[in-house]
Amino acid sequence: MTPDEFRTLGHRLIDWIADYRSGLAGLPVMARTEPGEVRGRLPASPPEEPDGFDAILRDLDEVVLPGLTHWQHPSFFGYFPANASPASVLGDLLSTGLGVLGLSWQACPALTELEEVVADWVRQLVGLSDAWAGVIQDTASTSTLVALLCARERATGYSLARGGLQAESQPLTVYSSDQAHSSVMKAALLAGFGRDNVRAVAHDAEYAMCPQALEEAVRRDIAAGRKPCAVVATTGTTATTALDPVGAIARVAAEHGLWLHVDAAMAGSAMILPECRWMWEGVEQADSLVLNAHKWLGAAFDCSLYYVRDPEHLVRVMSTNPSYLQSAADGRVRNYRDWGIPLGRRFRALKLWLLLRAEGVEALRARLRRDIANAAWLAGQVRGTPGWKVLAPVPLQTVCVRHEPPGVDGEALDRHTLAWVERVNRSGKAYLTPATLDGRWMVRVSVGAEPTERGHVEALWELMRQEAERSPDGG
- Positions in 124-163 near a second copy (CB under 8 A): 124-125, 138-142, 145, 149, 152, 159-163
Q: Which of 257, 360, 380, 455 lies at the binding interface for a second copy (CB under 8 A)?
A: 360
26, 224, 323, 406: which one contacts a second copy (CB under 8 A)? 323
Which residue pairs from 361-370 have beta carbons closer than 8 angstroms and sit at least 24 positions apart in sequence? 361/125, 361/272, 364/272, 364/297, 364/298, 365/272, 365/273, 367/298, 367/450, 368/269, 368/270, 368/272, 368/273, 368/296, 368/397, 368/448, 369/273, 370/453
Task: Please spell the DSSP secondary structure of 366-407, one letter per residue.
Answer: HHHHHHHHHHHHHHHHHHTSTTEEE-S--SSSEEEEEE--TT
Among 132, 280, 296, 301, binds a second copy (CB under 8 A): 301
Give which of 355, 337, 353 is closest to 345, Cα–Cα: 337
Contact pick of 208, 239, 283, 297 for a second copy (by CB under 8 A): 239
Choose the stretch contacting a second copy; rule: CB under 8 A; options: 217-225, 328-336, 454-462, 463-471.
328-336
85 touching a second copy, by CB under 8 A: yes
Q: Which of 235, 312, 324, 424 binds a second copy (CB under 8 A)?
A: 324
**Cα(12)–Cα(171) distance, integer angstroms:** 58
Cα-Cα-Cα-Cα dihedral sign, residues 327, 328, 329, 334:
positive
Q: Are strands 259-263 and 440-446 parallel, antiparallel or unpaired?
A: unpaired
- CB closer to a second copy, 53 vs 377: 53
Q: Does 316 bind a second copy (CB under 8 A)?
A: no
Q: Which is nearer to a second copy, 65 or 387 (CB)?
A: 65
Q: Does 50 bind a second copy (CB under 8 A)?
A: yes
Residues 198-237 that bind a second copy (CB under 8 A): none
Report the run of H or E that residue 189 belongs to, with start and end. Answer: helix 182-190
**Rounded CA separation 137/318 (Å):** 13
Of 373-432, binders to a second copy (CB under 8 A) are none
CA-based R_g, the chain, Å = 24
Can you name the residues that pair with 175 across neighbouring β-strands? 199, 231
CB 347, min distance to a second copy, A:
9
Nearer to a second copy, 189 or 202 (CB): 189
Identified binder of a second copy from the candidate list 154, 203, 294, 429, rule CB under 8 A: 294
One residue of 119, 248, 270, 300 binding a second copy per CB under 8 A: 300
Residue 99 interacts with a second copy (CB under 8 A): yes or no = yes
Which of 343, 376, 412, 459 touches a second copy (CB under 8 A)?
343
Q: Report in angstroms how near the CB of residue 440 gets to a second copy at its nearest.
A: 10
The correct pick among 27, 108, 202, 459 for binding a second copy (CB under 8 A) is 108
By CB under 8 A, name the one of 157, 225, 332, 386 that touches a second copy: 332
Determine which residue in the list 285, 385, 427, 433 makes contact with a second copy, applying CB under 8 A: 433
- Identified binder of a second copy from the candidate list 27, 127, 171, 389, rule CB under 8 A: 171
Contacts of 48 (CB under 8 A, 6+ apart): none
Contact (CB, 8 A) for 261 and 230:
yes
Could you tell me which stretch among 37-45, 255-263, 273-281, 379-387 binds a second copy (CB under 8 A)? 37-45
Q: Which of 11, 58, 220, 426 binds a second copy (CB under 8 A)?
A: 11
The C-alpha atoms of residue 396 and residue 117 are separated, in whole angstroms, by 28
* One-letter identity of residue 220: R
Distance CA 231, CA 126 (A): 22
Select the span of 79-87, 206-214, 242-250, 466-474 touching a second copy (CB under 8 A): 79-87
Count of chain residues binding a second copy (CB under 8 A) = 159
285 belongs to the binding site for a second copy (CB under 8 A): no
Q: Which of 391, 394, 390 is nearest to 372 (CA)?
A: 394
313 binds a second copy (CB under 8 A): no
Where helices occur in 384-472 by DSSP H, the ranges are 410-427, 454-469
List the x/- string, 52-71, binding to a second copy by CB under 8 A: -x-xx---x--xxxxxxxxx
CA distance 419 to 413: 10
- Among residues 176, 177, 183, 269, which is the contact residue for a second copy, using CB under 8 A? 183
Amino acid at position 352, single letter: L
